[in-house]
Amino acid sequence: MSDFKKIVAANWKMKLNVGQSLELADAMASQFQDFSKQEVVICPDFLTLSLVGEKIKKTALKLGAQDMFWEERGSYTGEISPADLKELGCQYVILGHSERRGYLDEDYSIINKKVKAALKVGLTPIMCVGEKEEEKNNGQRDEVLQEQIRQGLSDIKLDAGQSLVLAYEPIWAIGSGQAIKDSDIQGSYSAIRSALKEILPEQHNEVFTIYGGSVDSDNVSQFAQAEEIDGLLVGGASLEAGEFFRIADNMIK
């Protein structure tokens, strides 16, 4: 079991050019200079990953990637090796983000291979799940989340020292300015927990269940108070160091 209780990760997506990523890394390094609370992770794009890693290495901030391939080495043109991410100082990797599921047709059999490969090299996977708006409106939310978890975590076993993060990101909440309502937290996370109990009967307590989708410093207290939520995956609001600091500082007590 990890020695920290909450995790807040910044997902910069493909929103910044190289210069902007480096500037933001500098701003994060100075904003988080005296911040010692665990566990805050920055996930830049691949091209700036090692440069950003250099800039934040004197702080408590951790480095994460936004994706990776499921093999460590071989004839896989254009792909990114999990072993190389590890070598470059990454500790986390986001897997199965809905933007990759949507634009690149990633499904949970692919995501499952990636989760296994990440654990194998010692990266902590942040596996994303989340329902579409129409699935929510049709009352299919719980069923969709549970099936995603069953497939994504099929045949997974956590060895000593390995952690797993499950990010619940309702697709309709991402970048929409409309986060999940308080009244929906309990229902969705209890569906998630029961699927985790089924798939990892002895280790479900070791899985961090975090939330992502339109989190900002105005609504963070809602998530900080929710017992079910062990952390946050932050997109838009992680692109400004002061705003991201307020979120992390409020979330992690």
- Show the tokens assigned to 138: 């049709």
Smallest gap from residue 125 Cβ to ligand PGA (A): 14
Angle between helices 108-121 and 141-152 (to 10 degrees): 50
43 versus 118: smaller Cβ distance to ligand PGA: 43
Q: Work out which of 226, 236, 246, 250 binds ligand PGA, going by CB under 6 A.
A: 236
Binding segment for ligand PGA among 32-40, 140-148, 154-162, 212-220 (CB under 6 A)? 212-220
The residues that bridge with 10 in the sheet, in sequence order, are 42, 234
Comparing CA positions, the residue from 147, 136, 121 lying closest to residue 174 is 136
Residue 150 CB, shortest distance to ligand PGA, in Å, is 22
Whether 169 is catalytic: yes
CA atoms within 13 A of residue 203's CA, in its CB half-sphere: 17
For position 56 contacting ligand PGA by CB under 6 A, the verdict is no
The answer to whether 198 is a known catalytic residue is no
Q: Which of 39, 131, 135, 169 is catalytic?
A: 169
Rank residues 196 and 234 by Cβ distance to ligand PGA and give the closer one. 234
11: contact with ligand PGA by CB under 6 A: yes
- Residue 137 burial class via C-beta count within 10 angstroms: exposed 0-12, middle 13-18, buried 19 and up: exposed
Does position 175 interact with ligand PGA (CB under 6 A)? The reply is yes
Cα separation, 138 vs 116, in Å, equals 32
Tokens of 250: 């409020």
Quick check: 45 binds ligand PGA (CB under 6 A)?
Answer: no
Judge whether 250 and 207 are in contact, CB under 8 Å.
no
Query: What is the helix (H) or strand (E) element at residue 29, kind and residue range?
Result: helix 18-31
- Please tell me whether residue 10 binds ligand PGA under the rule CB under 6 A: no
Q: Which is nearer to ligand PGA, 156 or 233 (CB)?
A: 233
Scanning residues 190 to 209, which ones bind ligand PGA (CB under 6 A)? none
With beta carbons less than 8 A apart as the criterion, state whether 100 and 144 touch: no
Q: Which of 149, 174, 180, 241 binds ligand PGA (CB under 6 A)?
A: 174
Q: Which distant-in-sequence residues (6+ apart) come within 8 Å of 6 by Cβ?
A: 38, 39, 230, 231, 251, 252, 253
Find the catalytic residue in 39, 97, 99, 135. 97
Identity of the residue, 192 or 233, whose beta carbon is nearer to ligand PGA in the bound complex: 233
Residues binding ligand PGA (CB under 6 A):
11, 169, 174-175, 212-215, 233-237
Catalytic residues: 97, 169
